[in-house]
A and B are shown apart, each in its own frame.
Chain A
Amino acid sequence: ILNVEQSPQSLHVQEGDSTNFTCSFPSSNFYALHWYRWETAKSPEALFVMTLNGDEKKKGRISATLNTKEGYSYLYIKGSQPEDSATYLCAFSGRRALTFGSGTRLQVQP
């Protein structure tokens, strides 16, 4: 059974704060690590797909890093804004379809 763990489960920050989340996953049979943002009543939106150890990806104020040898990825949000409020999901792509963590729910207070 694949175990993808995310922490923290939820996070409340003030507008302007920077924050980061962790995703841990099995280090064997690794193909890719995906990050998604899921806002209420919308479709999960793909943020990043990372495949190589040491990968770093950036999209605006959001960035992610990947360590496949130790099995973790970090997602960083710089200067959080209320519109960043969402659930952030990571998903491990191995032999089968995506295996998701349970997500980190971020609430940014104005």
Chain B
Amino acid sequence: DTGVSQDPRHKITKRGQNVTFRCDPISEHNRLYWYRQTLGQGPEFLTYFQNEAQLEKSRLLSDRFSAERPKGSFSTLEIQRTEQGDSAMYLCASSLGDRRSYEQYFGPGTRLTVT
């Protein structure tokens, strides 16, 4: 399967701990997006990369959050000093090119629970 993969699928952590998630996009896709989804809501945009450059960050992305895509392939999303409000599904998506109409292909998500 050459779709978008995310690791881990589930993460339970204690408040105050740091967590890191990984996303592997479809190999030829140069755009990579991170979204967060909480119960009863649709996914909300966090940040996106064009190759290795982080081009936009949402106001939702506090300074405890950092994302990287060092070689323009896989990406990591780190949350430092986790809080209970960080509990959510974190989704990664990738797309080809920069046209607005291009489909974004999603991974299965990482579900984070902060206790």
Contacts and interface: CB of A to CB of B under 8 A. Distances in A.
B42 A89 contact: yes
Kindly name the residue among B33, B40, B100 whose own CB sees the greatest number of chain A CB atoms within 10 A: B100
Nearest to A95: B100
Interface size class of A (residues with CB under 8 A): 20 to 34
Given A96-B56, A102-B40, A46 B45 contact: no
A103 B101 contact: no
Interface stretch (A13-21, A36-44, A77-85): A36-44
A6 B3 CA distance: 28
Interface stretch (B63-71, B79-87, B103-111): B103-111
Nearest to A103: B42
Interface string A78-110: 000000000001010110111111110000000
Given A32-B101, A93-B101, A43 B108 contact: yes
